Amino acid sequence: MGEVTAAARHGGSDGPGIPALRCVDLAKHYPSRRRQPTVMALRGVSFEVPAGSTFGVVGESGCGKSTLARLLVGLEAPTSGAVEIAGRRVDTGPRSDRRALARRIQLVFQDPFSSLDPRMPVARALDEVLRFHHLHDDRRDERVVELLDMVALGGRFARRYPHELSGGQAQRVAIARALAVEPQVLVLDEPTSALDVSVRAEIMNLLVRIQDELRLSYLFISHDLSMVRHVSDDIAVMYLGRVVEVGRYDAVLDAPMHPYTRALADAVPVPDPDAKRTSHEARAVSHGGRADPPPEPASARDVDDEHACAFLPRCPVAERVCGERAPRLAPAAAGHEVSCHVASAAAGLGPADR
């Protein structure tokens, strides 16, 4: 196991109160193609991740989780809104600053093999990253072994090619490569979903240990509430490109307010009057979000959530106002926000209008 000295810690250096990661009104629209309407993959998402904490993001397939991940790490530019890392916007300022800022946040994908070059042995994949960023130039070989130790693989994996790795080992390499640039934030997009059930806990434990040792902040994405519940400090629930509920993990889990969150928490079926159009969504809800991903959810395209609640077609508690005005995220209890007219009214706050 690699010794991690205080000097090797990546996080915790930006002053008290400055969130590690923040996004403000982030939106992503994919323009229409082949007579298909525009896809509103993200529709105004705002939240912040305190330094050293884990922010869980949960929601069924197609709700915009991976789009959010790509925007956060700069793989794609938002249609509008902004991303801040350690209090600094990533899209303004001199180029060298932006590059240094971009290094602070790294993405770990669901499929580890998708991020590894099949022709490149593990050591070279790590070495390339170090070389590109001029890190540890005088001791790169040593550093590669340290990184492999950090993910509990060890130097004997250095010469292996991706096809000689199990899924779990490949994900460890992908994590080591993300760590190579000494980031402060890891965006983990369903990092165990593609792995055998037997190795999921190992990878989760590894991620928790690394976070602790390096004082990293995590944005942990999953379609499965039961995955994020054990690791998250805060949880955001997404539905069709919006955050519909967000708060401390225990508030969201113990007292879920949005009917969609309740369905995810209880894994109970949600009646679906519009069963034809949203049948795969209904299945996803009734199985706690664990349905097979639909090829391409039609719903992200054609929901008009300006004039009615986007969850209305599936909502078991909807009232008239839900078909008249779209709710907006509003505080409903200490450290707990919800976007639901009915839940806000129940909390004594009146309809959750803009």
Q: Which is nearer to Mg ion, 66 or 217 (CB)?
A: 66
Query: What is the strand order of the sheet 217-222 is part of?
Result: 105-108, 185-189, 217-222, 54-58, 234-239, 242-248, 336-338, 330-333
Alpha helices in 26-153 (DSSP H): 65-72, 95-103, 122-132, 140-150
Q: Which is nearer to ligand ADP, 61 or 339 (CB)?
A: 61
CA distance 177 to 174: 5
Min dist. Cβ of residue 19 to Mg ion (A): 24
CA distance 84 to 46: 11
Alpha helices in 85-232 (DSSP H): 95-103, 122-132, 140-150, 167-180, 197-214, 225-228
Min dist. Cβ of residue 223 to Mg ion (A): 8
Question: Of Mg ion, ligand ADP, none, which one does residue 39 interact with (CB within 5 to 8 Å by kind)?
Answer: ligand ADP
CA distance 256 to 203: 28
Q: Residues 229, 249: contact at Cβ < 8 Å?
A: yes
Min dist. Cβ of residue 113 to ligand ADP (A): 18
- Listed ranges 59-67, 92-100, 307-315, 322-330: which one lies at the site for Mg ion (CB under 5 A): 59-67
Is residue 67 close enough to count as binding Mg ion by CB under 5 A? no
Chain positions contacting ligand ADP, by CB under 6 A:
30, 39, 41, 59, 61-67, 296-297, 300
Q: Which is nearer to Mg ion, 140 or 223 (CB)?
A: 223
**Residue 130 φ/ψ region, left for φ over 0, alpha for ψ in the -120 to 50 degree band, beta for the rest:** alpha
Q: Which is nearer to Mg ion, 69 or 180 (CB)?
A: 69
Q: Which one of 66, 211, 217, 299 is in contact with Mg ion (CB under 5 A)?
A: 66
Question: Of ligand ADP, Mg ion, none, which one does residue 105 interact with (CB within 5 to 8 Å by kind)?
Answer: none
Q: Which is nearer to ligand ADP, 19 or 241 (CB)?
A: 241
Contacts with Mg ion, residue ranges (CB under 5 A): 65-66
